Amino acid sequence: MAAPPIELILMRQLAGHLAMPIFVVDPEGNLLFYNEPAEALLGHRFDEAGPMPMAEWSTSFTQRDQDGSPLRPDDQPLVIAVRSHRPAHRTFWITGHDGVARHLGVTAFPLEGPEGRHLGAVAMFWGLDE
């Protein structure tokens, strides 16, 4: 397997030093990394989860819209950023691996390299106080 582009390596390095929860995926949407603050909201350590394909991470947490209906993977901001190469934002509920439901705000944006080459996407998220 080829090494990821330097921009993704640097994004992962930056995410490791941020206090805000961050999720980093490659151009196909494969999870490359999420940081320690994200672990607290997801209820699962990245060391235990590891890299995974979009089909797995986008459905591994119970996600509900504001009205309680299931949130389709295609409506998740990070999936939109990867597939449409545009930023997206949404608030929704997630139940992590620890069984705790949390109300999150999620903003995702695509990463581009030289000459507009699509490199992947990043989501940053935070818990919303009720």
- The predicted-structure confidence for 74-111, as pLDDT tens digits, reads as follows 999 999 999 999 999 999 999 888 888 899 999 999 99
How confident is the model over 1-16, as a mean pLDDT? 88
Which domains does the chain carry? 6-117 (3.30.450.20)
pLDDT of the residue at 55: 84
pLDDT of the residue at 58: 76
Quote helix, strand, coil % in the chain, to nearest 5.
30, 35, 35
The closest alpha carbon to 97, from 57, 44, 55, 48, belongs to 44
Q: How far apart are CA 51 and CA 25, in angstroms?
A: 9
Going by the DSSP 8-state scheme, the letter that residue 5 receives in this structure is: P
Pairing of strands 22-25, 31-34: antiparallel
- pLDDT averaged over every residue in the chain: 90
Q: Say whether pLDDT at 127 is over 70.
A: yes
Q: How far apart are CA 7 and CA 111, in angstroms?
A: 8
Where do the H-state alpha helices sit in the chain? 6-15, 36-42, 46-49, 54-57, 77-84
Q: Which residue has the higher pLDDT, 43 or 22?
A: 22
Q: Tens digits of per-residue pLDDT, 51-66?
A: 888 888 777 778 899 8
The closest alpha carbon to 123, from 5, 2, 42, belongs to 42
